Structure formats: C-alpha cells, structure tokens
C-alpha cells in the first residue's frame, strides 16, 4: 500500500438561500473583503462547531458529493497549476488581517469541494465561489464547470502584507487534500505534511481518509497575533471539531485543540499524525539507479519519552510495510525531523536541506499508548511513505467522545533538546572487521555520527564508552573516536547475524557512567544489501 503525496478531500454542506436584503448586505460587505462575495453573517464559535460535530457523528455518514466529476478529473496537474487565485480577490488582501488568504481550486487530485468562511466578532460569513477569482483560460476544463459549482478545494495563508508585496511569495500555511496541512517552517521551504487524524494506517482494515469539509478563518491584527482556523472533520468512522491557533514566529507554531466523536470502533486511531517521504539516505540501499547522494523530506523520528529519554530512530525504505511501536506513558513529545542540513548531501534544486522538522508537544498528559512509525516501500520521491503518530492504549469505540490538545513546532530542529546530550546526525553502514586483517564473511559495521556542544567537554585522549545491543546476533568491536577536522564523534560496532529477519539495534555513548548522547535506535533489514 502506498500513500500518494497529495490526497483528495471535499464536502458540500447544504447551501443557504439568500433573501434579497441579505444579498445586498453581502454585496456591501464584499468590497471590505477585497472583492469576494460573502454570504450573510451567522453567529458562530468553536463551541458551536463542537456541537455540530457531535450531531454529525450521531447521524448516518453521508459521502460528500464530488461536483462535475468528469470535468474535475480533466483538470490534471498542469491544468490545475494554471488556476491561480487572483490576489486582488484575496480575503483580507487590502485590510483586516495582516495575513491575506487565497483559495485553491478543485482538480484531479482534489476532487471534493470545501466550504470556506470568514469568522470575525463571533459572526461567520461564507466565502461564495466565483470563477472570476481564478485565472481560468477558455480552454481549461474549469471553464466548463456548471454555474454555481462550489469549486474551492483548500486555502493558503499568505505572508504579511505589511512586509511588502505578498502575492509573489510562497504561502506559509496550506490546508489542502483530505485533512492534510503543512507549513514552510523555519527555513522557508515546505516538506512533510500533517493530518487531522490517521485511521488504520497499514492495519487489517483499509486506511480511511476523513475530510476537512468546512473552515472558518479568523484574522490576525498584527504579525505577532495568531490566525485562528476552525475546521469540521467528517468521515465514515468519526466526526471532529478542530481549532488551530497558528503563529508565524520565525518558524510556525500551531496549538491544536480537537474533539473527536466516534461513529464506530476504530482498530488504529492515530493522533497528531505526520506524513513524510524517505527514499534513501547515506546508508546503503537499493538506490544505485539515482544520481543524488540522498533523497528525503525527513531522515528520522525523534521521541522524548515520559521517562525523559531522548530517542532517535533513522528512517528506512524497507523491503515491505513495517510498523514499529514505541511504548510510552505520558510522552513529552515526538516528531519527524530533517537533521541533515548539508546541501552537498542532496545536490538537488528542490532544497531538501531546508525541509522543516515538525515536533508534537502534548499540552496535557496523553496517558499510556505508543508512538507508531509506519514505513512503506517506495521507488520514487513523489510518494509519502513515512507516517508517525500517537496511538492511545485504550480501544477506540463507537460512541466515544475524545479530546486532544497539542502544540506543533514547524522548525529546523526539535525544540527542548538538552544541551548535555549530543544528537545522532548520520548513520553509515559498511564491511565489518579491522583494516589489514582478514574480514569475516557477513560481518557488518555500523557507524553513528554524533554532534553537539557536550562533545567538546571530552578530555583529550579520553574515549567515551559505546553501549550497543542487538535484538539478535553478536555485537563486537565497539569503540568511539573523534572525527578529525570536525566537532563530531563517531560510535561504531560490528554485527554478525544470520537470517533475513529484521534486527533492532540500540546504541548510545557514555562517559563515567553518564550518557553523552541520545539513544540511537535502528531497524536493520539484512535483505536490503542482498
């Protein structure tokens, strides 16, 4: 099973007819909204959204309609790229929020319409679709959509209009496709995505992709103020009410508050899911057909356990779908990270070295459960094949009402990492044994590079102890040494093991009985090297 990088989403709520007087009111307000057509004001709040989601979950699920499916399917990748939103129609493009909002059009990969609302002063006004908002050529399939077709698929938050011309710059937040969203992070480049929920990823039942079917967006008066986005989630198994409080502060920080109402039992409920791509890294694999040294949006999973241990698990492109579970109680955080920031390690023009890391910080105790990492085989960089999420220990049952609050840090590095530990920054594999001696057949050497200020405190001539273990096989030649001309140290060991089943490895360095590094975990698939 393979996850496409861009899923699809849609939903159309029942449209309200406008009385003549309300239509005049909408037109009067339209100029204030930068030329958008807005519906009449209606009272609305997050509490009202929670009530709405609870009511939806109590009713039978209705599959969202897909407007004009044949025409929408004809809007392929190239045709969709030409449907650019005209900046003069942006919500808050001239006044109001400092962050303008533009909208995305339906297309082959985003086939379901999503309702959009501006929310100010406790009143919501729907943004009514018009083809005039987009650059639609006469020969575009979008030009043949029937009049009145609701054709919004998602939206972009744009950079502050007080910092100059915003329309030519990349959006800093995007909500588009199922419950997917992503941001540019701290280094100005998009990469991995997040989702509102993950249901049955690599489980016995087919994976389900609920949709954000409606959004309510509140303005920010200053750059330091947050943009608040409310979202309604709907799917066959559940409904949900979401509040995103989003700040643009160096990187992007989101506070997420979500209420979930379950229609039926769910085998695998994934909270705060992150989705990314890992084709190959610096360690060997089946990628000799590509010229680049590395290709990935994220190179590993970081975890800060409830017991205080910092764990780094490098990502894999495994030979088969693999799920790894990390049991925990009240985790302090986890995330998918891009730690390798050296352009020379990618040699590509798509800025893999600037892809953001995303850290999930629970804002309350999540109790017992596990961080799960799902790795899916891929033969190209166009597919997201890495998923990480929190799975509660308690079963997810029909009728459950659940609430989760967490903070998402879209930054260059994981926040809160302690200064007295070094990070694992590279994992290398090679032939085992020692130079100048007969090499044992099948012996493999693992080399882990660590970096961090704490390594400078190691006295000259002193070598830290390497503590390495394996779930099976024999570990030998454990040693540490500085990497000359750099501040880094390497820890290495040899592994002798038979068979093709995966082997779980664990390593850290210590000095005088005290850890110097985080804990490196790795799952080795012997068959990858044949």
Give yes or no: residues 123 and 153 share one domain: yes
Give yes or no: residues 382 and 468 share one domain: no
C-beta of residue 8 within 8 angstroms of C-beta of residue 111: yes
Tokens 């506070």 identify what position?
Answer: 255
The predicted pLDDT at position 214 comes to: 97
In a domain? residue 192: yes
In a domain? residue 218: yes
What is the distance of C-alpha 469 from the center of its chain? 31
Last residue of a domain, one of 411, 441, 473: 411
Number of other CB atoms surrounding residue 23 within 10 Å? 14
Residue 373's Cβ-side half-sphere holds a number of Cα atoms within 13 Å equal to: 27
In a domain? residue 319: yes
In a domain? residue 359: yes
C-beta of residue 104 within 8 angstroms of C-beta of residue 113: no
The predicted pLDDT at position 422 comes to: 98
Q: At 25, is the secondary structure helix, strand, or coil? A: helix
Give the domain extent around 501: 423-529
Give yes or no: residues 253 and 299 share one domain: yes
Tell me how far apart the alpha carbons of residues 192 and 185 are, in angstroms, rounded to a whole number: 10
Own/partner contacts of 135-141, CB < 8 Å, gap of 24 or more, are: 135/82, 135/83, 135/84, 135/86, 136/83, 137/82, 140/75, 140/79, 140/82, 140/83, 141/71, 141/72, 141/74, 141/75, 141/79
The predicted pLDDT at position 255 comes to: 98
Give yes or no: residues 404 and 444 share one domain: no
Give yes or no: residues 445 and 389 share one domain: no
In a domain? residue 417: no
Give yes or no: residues 33 and 107 share one domain: yes
* 456 backbone φψ class: left, alpha, beta (φ>0; ψ -120 to 50): alpha
The predicted pLDDT at position 286 comes to: 56
Tell me how far apart the alpha carbons of residues 327 and 308 are, in angstroms, rounded to a whole number: 13
Q: What is the CATH number of the domain that holds 23?
A: 2.70.98.10
Q: What are phi and psi of 493, to 5 degrees?
A: -160, 160
Tell me how far apart the alpha carbons of residues 59 and 502 are, in angstroms, rounded to a whole number: 45
Q: What is the CATH number of the domain that holds 451?
A: 2.60.40.10
Tokens 């094949």 identify what position?
Answer: 385
Give yes or no: residues 26 and 152 share one domain: yes
Tell me how far apart the alpha carbons of residues 368 and 414 are, in angstroms, rounded to a whole number: 23
Give yes or no: residues 503 and 357 share one domain: no
The predicted pLDDT at position 287 comes to: 63
In a domain? residue 256: yes
C-beta of residue 171 within 8 angstroms of C-beta of residue 102: yes
Write out the chain's pLDDT in tens, 530 residues: 333 343 322 322 222 322 222 233 333 344 345 579 999 999 999 999 999 999 999 999 988 778 999 999 999 999 999 999 999 999 999 888 999 999 999 999 999 999 999 999 999 999 999 999 999 998 999 999 998 899 999 999 999 999 889 999 999 999 999 999 999 999 999 999 999 999 999 998 899 999 999 999 999 999 999 999 999 999 999 999 999 999 998 899 999 999 999 999 999 999 999 999 999 999 876 566 789 999 999 999 999 999 999 999 999 999 999 999 999 999 999 999 999 999 999 999 999 999 999 999 999 999 999 999 999 999 999 999 999 999 999 999 999 999 999 999 999 999 999 999 999 999 999 989 888 777 788 899 999 999 999 999 999 999 999 999 999 999 999 999 999 999 999 999 999 998 889 999 999 999 999 999 999 999 999 887 64
Q: How many domains does the chain have?
A: 2
Q: What are phi and psi of 11, to 5 degrees?
A: -175, 145
Tell me how far apart the alpha carbons of residues 32 and 89 are, in angstroms, rounded to a whole number: 11
The predicted pLDDT at position 498 comes to: 87
Quick one: three-class SS letters along 335-368?
EEECCCCCHHHCCCCCCHHHCCEEEEEECCCCCE
In a domain? residue 418: no
Give yes or no: residues 439 and 407 share one domain: no
Last residue of a domain, one of 353, 384, 411: 411
Give yes or no: residues 405 and 428 share one domain: no
Tell me, yes or no, if the pTM score tops 0.95: no
Q: At 460, is the secondary structure helix, strand, or coil? A: coil
Give yes or no: residues 102 and 198 share one domain: yes
Structure tokens at 146: 């029937």
Q: Is the dihedral of CA 413, 415, 419, 420 positive or negative?
A: negative
Give yes or no: residues 300 and 168 share one domain: yes
* Dihedral of the alpha carbons of 256, 300, 329, 57, in degrees to the nearest 10: 40
Last residue of a domain, one of 376, 411, 446: 411
In a domain? residue 208: yes
The predicted pLDDT at position 409 comes to: 98
DSSP string, 102-155: EEEE-BTTB-S--EEEEEETTEEEEEE--GGGB---TTSGGGGSPTT---EEEE
């Amino acid at each position: 099973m393979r996850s496409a990088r861009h899923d699809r989403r849609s939903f159309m709520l029942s449209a309200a007819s406008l009385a003549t007087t309300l239509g005049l009111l909408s037109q009067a307000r339209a100029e204030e909204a930068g030329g958008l057509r807005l519906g009449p004001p209606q009272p609305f709040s997050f509490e009202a959204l929670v009530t709405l989601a609870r009511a939806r979950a109590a009713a039978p699920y209705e599959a969202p309609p897909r407007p004009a499916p044949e025409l929408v399917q004809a809007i392929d990748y190239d045709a969709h790229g030409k449907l650019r939103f005209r900046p003069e129609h942006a919500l808050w493009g001239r006044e109001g929020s400092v962050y303008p909002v533009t909208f995305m059009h339906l297309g082959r990969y985003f086939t379901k319409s999503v309702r959009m609302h501006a929310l100010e002063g406790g009143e919501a006004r729907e943004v009514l679709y018009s083809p005039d908002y987009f650059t639609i050529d006469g020969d575009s399939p979008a030009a043949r959509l029937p009049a009145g077709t609701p054709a919004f698929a998602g939206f972009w938050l744009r950079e502050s209009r007080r910092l100059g011309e915003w329309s030519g710059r990349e959006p800093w937040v995007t909500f588009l496709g199922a419950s997917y969203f992503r941001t540019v992070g701290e280094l100005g480049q998009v990469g991995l995505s997040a989702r509102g929920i993950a249901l049955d990823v690599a489980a016995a039942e087919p994976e389900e992709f609920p949709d954000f079917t409606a959004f309510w967006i509140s303005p920010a008066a200053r750059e330091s103020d947050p943009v608040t986005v409310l979202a309604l989630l709907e799917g066959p198994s559940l409904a949900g009410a979401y509040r995103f409080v989003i700040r643009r502060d160096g990187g992007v920080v989101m506070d997420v508050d979500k209420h979930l109402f379950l229609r039926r039992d769910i085998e695998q409920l994934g909270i705060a899911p992150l989705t990314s791509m890992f084709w190959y890294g610096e360690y060997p694999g089946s990628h000799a057909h590509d010229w680049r040294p590395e290709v990935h949006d994220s190179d590993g999973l970081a975890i800060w356990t409830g017991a205080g241990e910092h764990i780094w698990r490098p990502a894999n492109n495994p030979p088969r779908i693999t799920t790894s579970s990390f049991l925990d109680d009240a985790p302090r955080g986890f995330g998918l990270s891009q730690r390798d920031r050296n352009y020379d390690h990618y040699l590509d023009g798509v800025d893999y070295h600037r892809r953001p890391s995303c850290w999930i910080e629970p804002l309350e105790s999540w109790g017992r459960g596990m961080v799960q990492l799902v790795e899916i085989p891929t033969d190209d960089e166009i597919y997201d094949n890495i998923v990480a999420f929190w799975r509660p220990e308690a079963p997810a049952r029909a009728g459950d009402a659940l609430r989760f609050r967490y903070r998402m840090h879209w930054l260059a590095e994981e926040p809160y990492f302690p200064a007295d530990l070094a990070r694992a920054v590279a994992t290398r594999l090679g032939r085992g044994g020692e130079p100048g001696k007969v090499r044992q057949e099948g012996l493999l050497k693992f080399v882990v590079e660590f970096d961090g200020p704490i390594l400078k405190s190691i006295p000259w001539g002193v070598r830290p102890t390497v503590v390495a273990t394996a779930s099976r096989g024999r570990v030998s030649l454990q040693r540490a040494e500085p990497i000359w001309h750099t501040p880094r140290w390497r820890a290495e060991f040899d592994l002798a093991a038979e068979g093709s089943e995966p082997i779980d490895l664990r390593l850290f360095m210590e000095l005088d009985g005290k850890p110097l590094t985080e804990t490196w975990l790795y799952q080795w698939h012997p068959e990858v090297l044949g």
